[in-house]
């Protein structure tokens, strides 16, 4: 497949040009398989992990094995989450979330796979969504499978740890906080049914995406006419694998983000530009077309 890239840098965003080209891509490939990442939620006030070059901005998140094996790691995790989870629980949907929901409502989205755990796509109105890495608002016992909503667990741990609940710190990605103190006194809530380890229903680093979720995403990809990556560096293999499969199947791949992606060599279209205004411009162009306004399909270049 011939690679044809449209590149807009953050320094020269050319929002209208990128939005028109994105609209043309969507119109030509109307059954889109969309994958989103942290960049979609930064306008909602949720920090991301990586910079425009795809490098870590901070220490990598907790590893699954460490969380399960170490009580001290769990103490540190939950104490910081008690402070930082407000960034997720109080986040509001962004223009990017709303624009993607609008594209689905117009019939352009076959499936949206998100690597985010904030459930903001659903709150914005998207219905065909797979939470690839799970959801942060739900907690599950790793022993017996008992589930509870995370706000209930936080309320109980705030009652158990009033001195920690009163602390403040800068919010970090995925409900974490930049809090460093002595965590030994923190009391972690255990499963009320079996006493097992409670963990957010999220795929941590070192863990694997549940097979049923991966298979459902692959099935959506098999029905799609094109792929659109939004706000993701695709550095995590669980997301990148789908782009590699799409490329091998001959599907066009497009990316809208502010930086590089792991799939740059596979892309047929690429726009390095601000997400929300470009998506909103594309939706506006496509809505005009749906409402009967004469429209000459804009050039993708």
Residue list for the binding site: 141, 144, 191, 194
Residue 131's DSSP bridge partners are 114
Residue 135's DSSP bridge partners are 201
3-state secondary structure of 259: coil
Give the Å distances, CA to CA, from 268 to 1, 227, 233, 293: 8, 10, 16, 29
Catalytic residue among 29, 97, 121, 133: 133
Which parts of the chain fold into alpha helices (H)? 15-28, 64-69, 71-84, 86-89, 95-105, 120-124, 150-160, 162-165, 211-223, 237-248, 275-290
Phi and psi at residue 82, in whole multiples of 5°? -60, -30
Residue 289 annotated in active site: no
DSSP character at residue 201:
E
Neighbours of 263 (CB within 10 A): 24
The annotated binding site for Zn(2+) is made up of 141, 144, 191, 194
CA distance 124 to 172: 23
| Residues recognised as catalytic | 133
């Amino acid at each position: 497949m011939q690679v044809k890239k449209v590149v807009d840098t953050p320094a020269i965003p050319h929002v209208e040009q990128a939005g028109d080209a994105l609209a043309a891509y969507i119109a030509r490939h109307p059954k889109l398989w969309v994958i989103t990442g942290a960049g979609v939620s930064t306008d909602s006030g949720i920090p991301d992990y990586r910079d425009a070059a795809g490098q870590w901005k901070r220490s990598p998140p907790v590893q699954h094995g460490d969380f399960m094996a170490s009580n001290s790691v769990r103490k540190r995790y939950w104490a910081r989450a008690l402070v930082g989870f407000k960034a997720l629980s109080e986040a509001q949907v962004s223009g990017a979330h709303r624009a993607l929901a609008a594209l689905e409502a117009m019939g352009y989205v076959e499936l949206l796979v998100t690597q985010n755990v904030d459930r903001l796509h659903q709150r914005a109105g998207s219905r065909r969504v797979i939470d690839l890495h799970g959801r942060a608002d739900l907690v599950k016992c790793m022993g017996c499978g008992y589930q509870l909503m995370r706000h209930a667990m936080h309320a109980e741990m705030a009652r158990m740890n009033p001195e920690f609940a009163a602390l403040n710190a800068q919010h970090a990605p995925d409900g974490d906080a930049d809090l460093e103190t002595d965590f030994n006194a923190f009391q972690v809530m255990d499963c009320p049914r079996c006493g097992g380890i409670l963990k957010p229903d999220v795929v941590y680093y070192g863990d694997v995406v549940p097979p049923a979720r991966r298979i459902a995403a692959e099935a959506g990809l098999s029905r799609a006419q094109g792929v659109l990556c939004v706000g993701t560096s695709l550095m995590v293999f669980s997301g990148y694998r789908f782009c590699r499969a799409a490329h091998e199947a001959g599907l066009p791949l497009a990316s809208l983000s502010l930086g590089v992606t792991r799939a740059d060599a596979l892309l047929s279209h690429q726009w390095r530009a601000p997400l929300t205004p470009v998506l909103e411009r594309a939706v506006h162009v496509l809505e005009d077309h749906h409402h009967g306004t004469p429209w000459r399909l804009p050039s993708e270049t």
